[in-house]
Amino acid sequence: MARLTSFLLLSLLCFLPFCLCDKSYGGKLFPGYYAHSCPQAGEIVRSVVAKAVARETRMAASLLRLHFHDCFVQGCDGSLLLDSGGRIVSEKSSNPNSKSARGFDVVDQIKSELEKQCPGTVSCADVLTLAARDSSVLTGGPSWVVPLGRRDSRSASLSGSNNNIPAPNNTFSTILSKFNRQGLDVTDLVALSGSHTIGFSRCTSFRQRLYNQSGNGRPDMTLEQSFAANLRQRCPRSGGDQNLSVLDIISAAKFDNSYFKNLIENKGLLNSDQVLFSSNEKSRDLVKKYAEDQEEFFEQFAESMIKMGNISPLTGSSGEIRKNCRKMNS
């Protein structure tokens, strides 16, 4: 409770017109950044996201994933949103994003509305950050105060996207090292992985666990057998790469702590999920804690999302404010 009280107090202080939160939130990011230049920015983002999630609940998970995949490459700078063209080779074609990253049309809708009300003011990077928070809230998850003021990159990194974003079949140590490189620790790793309480994953992301986990033609023995049998019906040994399965078999459309309960029962869909329980004592303890206490999970998820959203933002005169999130200003 003391941790939550201090966290909320700091959040409230950050609404003051001068930035008391500079050191805690990093750089020049602060929640009131658009208070005068575009006071309706938050409501515009929330309204478009709400309509998108009402049409398709899965969109909430997709928007959260876009923010994560953006921040792990060059920082939270909107680089993921750039299409290929000129000197830009889009991150959308990387292994983690190709045929799976989605929600770009929702970002376009948000940006279009913002440009009508506040031309050239709100960055695409901040749009992603706000949309991720709203996606959590709209599916029953926690809310948090979003520090703002990011600017948009004038570059993208296909190699960074391929190398920095954890893969579904990575080992625990590889995943943790990729988080550590971003200034995130094991607590952030476990809490942020909890976003897999909503959404889906493609057969190609977990087929290895069903048929050939270690290259010996045998399945992953940490996978609960009846769960594995059901997954094989949706994910054959060959074909069906794009077939979808829910990441959380208990409540796939609700942001809660059932994801962690699944891990304890060896019913995590991805290898990168299950290793949080099977491969490391500290992460296992965190899984157990969050499975028992949803409020604790929600508090840590909010803190870790703010921390992730603070990875290497462009501020001041760096970067630009794109008019169209898919391309740099001319």
Mind telling me the catalytic residues?
Answer: 69
Give strand pairing partners of 85.
88
Q: Give the separation between CA 148 and CA 99, rounded to whole angstroms.
A: 30
Tens of pLDDT along 275-315? 999 999 999 999 999 999 999 999 999 999 999 999 999 99
Q: Which residues of 167-179 are buried (b: 16+ CB within 10 A; e: fewer)?
A: bbbbebeebbebb
φ/ψ of residue 28, rounded to 5:
-110, 20
Residue 288 confidence (pLDDT): 98
Nearest to 103 by CA among 56, 149, 137, 140: 56
Q: Give the separation between CA 123 and CA 322, rounded to whole angstroms.
A: 6
- 8 Å CB contact between 288 and 232: no
Tens of pLDDT along 180-229? 999 999 999 999 999 999 999 999 999 999 998 878 888 898 899 999 99
What pTM does this model have? 0.89
Tens of pLDDT along 99-144? 999 999 999 999 999 999 999 999 999 999 999 999 999 999 999 9
Q: Give the separation between CA 85 and CA 193, rounded to whole angstroms.
A: 33
